[in-house]
Structure 1
């Protein structure tokens, strides 16, 4: 069902309260991170969010900046509704060229026809941008001492505190989930000591060394609007309309190329002291408390302002303390569904800066830092899952025109963003993710029809969340990539495996899986010399095959990823039919397609080939690892299939780091967990911890020190969870890829892909013991595994039989068993 974005232009309420608040204690745990210095750039600002809105708090004492973000604010550049060119009618000719190994000719044929039929070069997605910045100029006397800024993961509250002239100042902020407000509160240890002024303005990043150059966006605008180019601003937004009315500030901003925009309404209230307004500024002097309440509202059409309604809602809001209490109850329950504790013997805690800097010279991972980053990843996922899942930047951004538009990139990045959601029991993140997929799915049918002449679904490679029409031709020919939808749907299938939510499966996921299969029913009509399907055109993101003449080309045949996703999709459809007794008439057809898929191939190095064609050689040094999809996120290749398992191990060992992207390192680590390569998992985590991939905010960068991206941040918890527990239907494996360097620890709350939950897991390497409490959501038999020589298993204190390091237990629905293993 196509959903209008108007339904998503809901109020983002910003409630900034300046009043008395509970003193922040100085003892810090893994549930907080803290800094001893103010942020000088937005990337180091501490973050909070409720999924729909996000804030970035610099923590400056005199001149504070709080950047407001909203998940639906994307600068319109005119590309979102342009359909891909119609080239499906020449697909039989293209498939013949590919069968004859004329890959370059096939690519050129499609590209030439596309240009003839209106293709206008690669089109960029609308870029994600900040709403505005709240500037708080706070006056006080004396030098600043005992400064600290903190983020509490359990309630999402950011605290800034300092001492000046023997007066303690505290400023706190959070974003409320139940009330959809942002709240900031100031207090001091002396009455009538709060003096501050407040303005709203566009957030502009003036740090040119950090600013990403995205010339592709400007090229698109020039191409699409040549007659308007000289009049267009950069970015494409009118100068904001601002007005003051006593204690209210209105900030409205319109995009130039479309009748959309957004507005911010802000109210300032003071208790004690005096409030005055002058120009575009509201000032309060000698106050005991000050409250600032505001809303960020995407509007379409721009003429239909909702300020009057917003004012009424603002006037009905409660106090900061009540808002925090109601928010903390919901947010805290979500965050505490998963808890990790690592042994920290011999290591030291410290500020974010100290931990990051010290880690650079350490040869082992500091567990204090890893715990904080793990928790930051869970916190970030919760805080940036609203009506959309996290985009490349989560929900936080301090610049216009970020790299790659800050969009949803669908050939690895969003898949990593959501990788921990099911295992960490964050169903809300899956719901937000599914809402995005359902919103953009109608365009998948246009892509399939125009590009391939087929029914069913083909996803684009990038989206801003409104449309997903395919616009990525060229050197990296995403238009050949047909595997995208299944990878996008897999976390939703995993959600079903973890929860057994049959209604979700029947009403939402199964119909989308069937439409994905429908594409392959039409597309697979060419055969190789052995009578198997020849899958072409075929693309393995974002890599190129090496031809016999040494030339590299992306558009070829039989990408291993394509084979894997077709196997997975059809096998899962058949499984669901058996489990839910759906009696779908397509089952026999799906089985027939499975029987004709080409086999995976192994190259002369003994590695799993990225393309199952003898004439195509592998390019190892690359950041993407698409062809190991059947290892992760798929479940196909496991130790039981020794040949493919060993070949996958060789493939990941030979894989290079490419340009050193954080998402590539995290992706490699996830694959390594499935291949039981504990040293590789540990090594990649250490590399991420010590090589400038962490900003002082503990948000990750795409490359060392540059490009604010949260894909690695949100993937790191998945790496940790997968190295501690692997699961598939009927199977749970403990510590599959845990390095001996993590001598002791415990974790609670992991969901398993067999409707079971690890309520508690504790390991002790020196004592060679493991304790687990496992609850099953259904009646079933579960096989438990451990990659060690088991000497004894006790279940509920009774000794249990073990065979080949495996043992099976029968569970009734809702039953919990306590398991103790020694090795």
Structure 2
């Protein structure tokens, strides 16, 4: 959720003093020579070898443990217009579904679980798993990580080893658990739910920019007010993310073409035999969903907001050799000029 500070910030090199030289070489088609100038300048200023930026890393994982059973008819879905992701499956004769989205309107993560049979679930927050070859690296950046649970609430706090100007000391996260039917109790760092018709998890997080002092009380107070309801939260998401997404539409074939209802795997198989309008429409929508979901204060990084690792490729940087430019290239044609401010 944020770049983990593990490297000392460095000022940019003095490339401006050689800008005219770089432009002249590019105009003359001598691109390799132009590209070599910033490298030579960095060496002259003592940068030495390549310096990776701080990586974009996850804050924590929300773990959901359900009862074991024979699973069938497993389906995954994403509604690009709302950003809502769903999975559903059959288990022991009952249909279950999980739905999740990150609310642009309310700045919360929303998860709903429901099914045809009562839900017996354990919920807890945990540090993202660390591979054996990542321990030293993660230890150089993460000072502490602590999960907790109280009545109807989960918490998680992490603090960084280093702190530099403009970089947070760490992050806090809190989740409120709401039930329809059933009961819940606390066991250590976990919430145990039994016999619920529906479980709603609303999670909020905050960066500690000014002090290491905990923001958990403020987060929990913010979650305690109001009557959180999944349908209301989704309606607000549709009015924000959905409004941005719906400003343009691409149609390359018949509106009710048979291909429009195909699953993604079937689309890919058909595309191997030859392209068609429906798959291009789907790619257009998927790409816009990707960019909309990854654009906020900053433009999308190389991995957008989907990282799931402590060591993302290219450190999940904002590289300007075509990556950021391509990511934002459609914002005007998609009629979302305000996102250019990121």
Q: What is the alpha-carbon distance in structure 2 between the residues aligned to residue 431 and residue 197 of structure 1?
A: 41
Alignment of 1:211-610 (within 5 A): 233-234=138-139, 236-258=141-163, 260-317=169-226, 318-343=228-253, 349-360=261-272, 362=273, 364-432=274-342
Once the two structures are superposed, residues 633-690 of structure 1 have per-residue CA deviations (whole angstroms, 9 ceiling, x without a partner) of: xxxxxxxxxxxxxxxxxxxxxxxxxxxxxxxxxxxxxxxxxxxxxxxxxxxxxxxxxx
Q: What is the alpha-carbon distance in structure 1 between the residues aligned to residue 37 and residue 81 of structure 2?
A: 54
Match of 2:96 in 1: 169
**Residue among 51, 55, 61 paired with 1:123:** 51
1:84 equivalenced with 2:1 (yes/no)? no
Alignment of 1:717-736 (within 5 A): none
| Structure 2: runs of 5 or more not aligned | none
8 Å CA contact 2:114, 2:199 repeated in 1: no
Q: What is the alpha-carbon distance in structure 2 between the residues aligned to residue 161 and residue 408 of structure 1?
A: 35
SS at match of 1:125: coil
TM-score by length of 1: 0.37
When residues 417 and 108 of structure 1 are mapped into structure 2, their CA distance, relative to the original with a 3 A threshold, is: closer
When residues 167 and 303 of structure 1 are mapped into structure 2, their CA distance, relative to the original with a 3 A threshold, is: same
When residues 365 and 250 of structure 1 are mapped into structure 2, their CA distance, relative to the original with a 3 A threshold, is: same
* More contact order relative to length (CA 8 Å, sep ≥ 6): 2
Q: What is the alpha-carbon distance in structure 1 between the residues aligned to residue 59 and residue 84 of structure 2?
A: 21
Once the two structures are superposed, residues 39-71 of structure 1 have per-residue CA deviations (whole angstroms, 9 ceiling, x without a partner) of: xxxxxxxxxxxxxxxxxxxxxxxxxxxxxxx3x
Q: What is the alpha-carbon distance in structure 2 between the residues aligned to residue 87 and residue 376 of structure 1?
A: 38
Shift of 1:232: 6.6
Richer in strand (by share):
2
Alignment of 1:5-16 (within 5 A): none
8 Å CA contact 1:232, 1:256 repeated in 2: no
Q: What is the alpha-carbon distance in structure 2 between the residues aligned to residue 116 and residue 341 of structure 1?
A: 53
- Which deviates further from its counterpart, 418-427 or 323-332? 323-332
When residues 233 and 175 of structure 1 are mapped into structure 2, their CA distance, relative to the original with a 3 A threshold, is: closer
Q: What is the alpha-carbon distance in structure 2 between the residues aligned to residue 356 and residue 379 of structure 1?
A: 19
Find the structure with the greater CA-based Rg.
1
TM-score by length of 2: 0.83
Match of 2:115 in 1: 188
Q: CA RMSD in A?
A: 3.3
Match of 2:4 in 1: 75
Q: What is the alpha-carbon distance in structure 1 between the residues aligned to residue 311 and residue 47 of structure 2?
A: 24
SS at match of 2:309: coil
Match of 1:198 in 2: 123
When residues 306 and 168 of structure 1 are mapped into structure 2, their CA distance, relative to the original with a 3 A threshold, is: same
**Residue among 144, 147, 153 paired with 2:71:** 144
When residues 347 and 85 of structure 1 are mapped into structure 2, their CA distance, relative to the original with a 3 A threshold, is: closer
Shift of 1:74: 0.1
Q: What is the alpha-carbon distance in structure 1 between the residues aligned to residue 316 and residue 181 of structure 2?
A: 43
Q: What is the alpha-carbon distance in structure 2 between the residues aligned to residue 356 and residue 205 of structure 1?
A: 33
Alignment of 1:661-680 (within 5 A): none
SS at match of 2:57: coil
SS at match of 2:120: strand
8 Å CA contact 1:175, 1:181 repeated in 2: yes
Once the two structures are superposed, residues 184-208 of structure 1 have per-residue CA deviations (whole angstroms, 9 ceiling, x without a partner) of: 1112124xx11111111122375x9
Aligned length: 325
8 Å CA contact 1:171, 1:185 repeated in 2: yes
Q: What is the alpha-carbon distance in structure 2 between the residues aligned to residue 174 and residue 205 of structure 1?
A: 25
